[in-house]
Amino acid sequence: MRIARPFHPSSRPSVAGNGLGTAMRVLVFAKAPRAGSAKTRLIPALGAQGAARLAQRLLDDALARAHAAAIGPVTLCIAPEEDPFWKSYDAPPGTARAGQGDGDLGARMARVAERTIARGESVLLIGTDCPALDVSILRRIADEITHADGVLVPAHDGGYVALGLKRFDPSLFSGIAWGTSRVASATRARYAQLGWTLRELPALPDIDEPHDLCALPAAWARDRVRTE
């Protein structure tokens, strides 16, 4: 069981973008789709190779949607950085790359988000597990962030599939039990404690467990991903 640390308001100064309507940088967080370590909770349904194949398709699709939305530059944030997969991976043209670094998911997202916002850009943090996060929703997030400090798209399981940020504070990513049903509620609480505005869009399904596979696009369901 994962226990969240108590929340304490940060003594570090918050960082804000320049608020001048600059482009929103999309940060796509992804793990190397390596058999046996990628989408492990789907292995009982798909096999190790099938789960890895689906992980790569989710990665490809997330990057394609991020570029198609045309809301700003796209950065692929990779882990582990030394995995040979990334040396040969053919990301869409114009995709920047950044390492996620060490620490839990919160520490890794905070690291990349803070330095991006410090450059004057707003940011959109997404993973690769939600093909339902389509171009129209990405564009809506980019519109909503002009009217709020943050935009949250919760996941059906209590996490979130996207977080748009115009301002940064480390408390948004610390003391949260990542991978549990309390992530979205903890994030809402952080915004309230900071006195920042947060807009929320309807929840979407992500693909983590075998029962989530029914949320894949219909065209994907016709493909045979099981190889074992």
Unique residue bearing structure tokens 């309230």: 192
* Contact present, 42 and 209 (Cβ < 8 Å): yes
Question: With 80 as the cut, is the pLDDT of residue 226 above it?
Answer: no
Thinking of the domain 28-214, which architecture would CATH place it in? Alpha-Beta Complex (3.90)
Is 7 exposed, middle or buried, given 0-12, 13-18 or 19+ CB atoms closer than 10 A? middle
Q: Give every CB contact of residue 18 below 8 A, 6+ residues apart in sequence.
A: 120
Q: Give the chain's radius of gyration (CA, Å).
A: 17
**Which tens digit of pLDDT belongs to each residue from 139-190?**
999 999 999 999 999 999 999 999 999 999 999 999 999 999 999 999 999 9
CA proximity to 15, closest of 173, 154, 161: 173
H-helix or E-strand containing 168?
strand 167-168
pLDDT band at 19 (very low <50, low <70, confident <90, very high): very low
With a pLDDT cut of 70, the percent of the chain lying above it is 87
Mean pLDDT of 196-222: 93
The DSSP call for residue 143 is: H
**Which tens digit of pLDDT belongs to each residue from 66-115?**
999 999 999 999 999 999 999 999 999 999 999 999 999 999 999 999 99
Question: With 60 as the cut, is the pLDDT of residue 2 above it?
Answer: no
Q: Give every CB contact of residue 223 below 8 A, 6+ residues apart in sequence.
A: none
Question: With 50 as the cut, is the pLDDT of residue 14 above it?
Answer: no
Cα–Cα dist 208/41, whole Å: 7
Cα–Cα dist 129/149, whole Å: 24
For residue 172, give both structure tokens.
Answer: 């948004």
The SS3 assignment for 90 reads coil
Ranges of each domain in the chain: 28-214
pTM for the predicted model, two decimal places:
0.88
Unique residue bearing structure tokens 């991976």: 89
Helices (H), strands (E): how many in the chain?
6, 9
Pairing relationship of beta strands 24-31 and 74-79 according to DSSP bridges: parallel
